[in-house]
Amino acid sequence: EAKRLGDGRPQFFQQAQEDELEERLTLERELRHAIDHDELRLYLQAQVNEAGNTIGAEALVRWQHPERGMISPGHFIPLAEQTGLILPLGDWVLKEGCRLLGEWRQDPRLQHVKLSLNVSVRQFQQPDFADQVMTVVAAYGAPPERLTLELTESLLLSDPEGTINKMKTLRHLGVSFALDDFGTGYSSLAYLKLLPLDTLKIDIAFVRDLTLDMQAKPIAATIIALAESLGLGIIAEGVETDDQRLVLVNLGCHLFQGFLFDRPAPALDFVKALSADHVA
Ligand code: C2E
Ligand code: MG
Ligand code: MG
Ligand code: MG
């Protein structure tokens, strides 16, 4: 029989909780170290138009852990959000992204490629976020009109006015905004109308089921129609098959991202693939 604690729970529950806390603390310590010791990597995934040309890329962070190997953001972004490490992490992503954009200016193959960076709510809500972006953009000579920031609907829950003001300041500079994972959050259509956005990203959840599920197609059609009526661009995430791509084209979506085109890869590989396309 399991030994009982004062509160009546078997002791193995407490042990499991302690192990979990221990693991989280280890990961937190290691992540803090990783941010300062060059263990983060920006992977890039192409954003492609109907003709198959790469018009942009989304930067997706990875953690090159010395023992655990390459770790996906799903495993450390939530922890980073909880611990506040998302601020130095987000700062690293912003700098690395702007460094790439600055570098790309010198390269005729890359001069037209835009770069999207994911920005977490906590990062965006810093009062001086717009200033930070302007400083980093200037420091790396990144063309702001080639920088897109991806935000999520949850931003609107707490501080719609502050959000709109920061977006306006940055848009004035030339920066674009995309609303990520659209359709999975709770943003009211009234707020959506107020946001100075450029693009809606259709969440992978609606793309995945597009050719299987009777519900997914009308939902995707509605999101695309909504984007049109608000004068916004639309891009579909997680496009894996040509059938999905065709359905999207028929619904009026002409920009795509997904494994059908490429998987997120180190910046150098992304650039190499781009040059190969141009030769073909
Ligand atoms: P997201 O911004 O919605 O990124 C799209 C995710 O879908 C990426 O996962 C990408 O690798 C994956 N994906 C792309 N195409 C396909 C496909 O065809 N099929 C499937 N099944 N998946 C596809 P990833 O790289 O694991 O990133 C997960 C999430 O982590 C991102 O979702 C974003 O919310 C967050 N994230 C990634 N990088 C950053 C970052 O630099 N900063 C912040 N704050 N969050 C980030
Ligand atoms: Mg994104
Ligand atoms: Mg997304
Ligand atoms: Mg997502």
**CB atoms closer than 10 angstroms to residue 63:** 23
Kindly state the tokens that stand for 147: 């920088």
User: How much of the chain, in percent, has pLDDT values that exceed 70?
Assistant: 94
Q: Whose CA is nearest to atom 44 of ligand 1?
A: 120
- Which residues pair with residue 266 across a beta bridge? 43
Number of H helices, E strands in the chain: 12, 10
Q: Answer yes or no: is pLDDT of 118 > 90.
A: yes
| Ligand 1 site, residue 120, Cβ cutoff 6 A | yes
Averaged pLDDT of the chain? 92
Q: Is the pTM for the entire model greater than 0.95?
A: no
Q: Whose CA is nearest to atom 35 of ligand 1?
A: 73
Q: Answer yes or no: is pLDDT of 7 > 70.
A: no
Measured distance CA(267)–CA(40) in Å, rounded: 13
Q: Dmax over Cα atoms in the chain, in whole Å?
A: 71
Q: Answer yes or no: is pLDDT of 2 > 80.
A: no
Q: Answer yes or no: is pLDDT of 3 > 90.
A: no
Q: Using the 8-state DSSP alphabet, how is residue 90 labeled?
A: H
Please indicate whether residue 194 or residue 258 has the higher confidence score (pLDDT).
258
Q: Please tell me the distance between residue 78's alpha carbon and the centre of ligand 3 in angstroms.
A: 15
Q: Which ligand is nearest to the CA of 58?
A: 2
Q: Answer yes or no: is pLDDT of 280 > 50.
A: no
Q: Helix H segments across 9-147?
A: 11-36, 73-83, 86-104, 121-124, 129-140
Q: Which of 81-85, 152-156, 185-189 has the highest mean pLDDT?
A: 81-85
Q: Whose CA is nearest to atom 12 of ligand 1?
A: 238
* Across 91-117, average pLDDT: 95
Tell me the C-alpha to C-alpha distance, in Å, between residue 207 and each of 37, 199, 204, 241: 37, 17, 5, 10
Determine the pLDDT at residue 9: 64
Q: Whose CA is nearest to atom 22 of ligand 1?
A: 238
Q: Which residues contact 231 (CB under 8 A, 6 or more apart)?
A: none
Q: Answer yes or no: is pLDDT of 6 > 90.
A: no
Task: State pLDDT tens for residues 160-206.
Answer: 889 999 999 999 999 999 999 888 876 677 778 889 999 999 999 99
Closest CA to 150 of 167, 137, 173, 127: 167
- Which residues pair with residue 260 across a beta bridge? none
Interface predicted TM-score (ipTM) over 0.95: yes
Q: Please tell me the distance between residue 95's alpha carbon and the centre of ligand 2 in angstroms.
A: 17
Q: Answer yes or no: is pLDDT of 212 > 90.
A: no
| Ligand 1 site, residue 185, Cβ cutoff 6 A | no
* Across 194-223, average pLDDT: 90
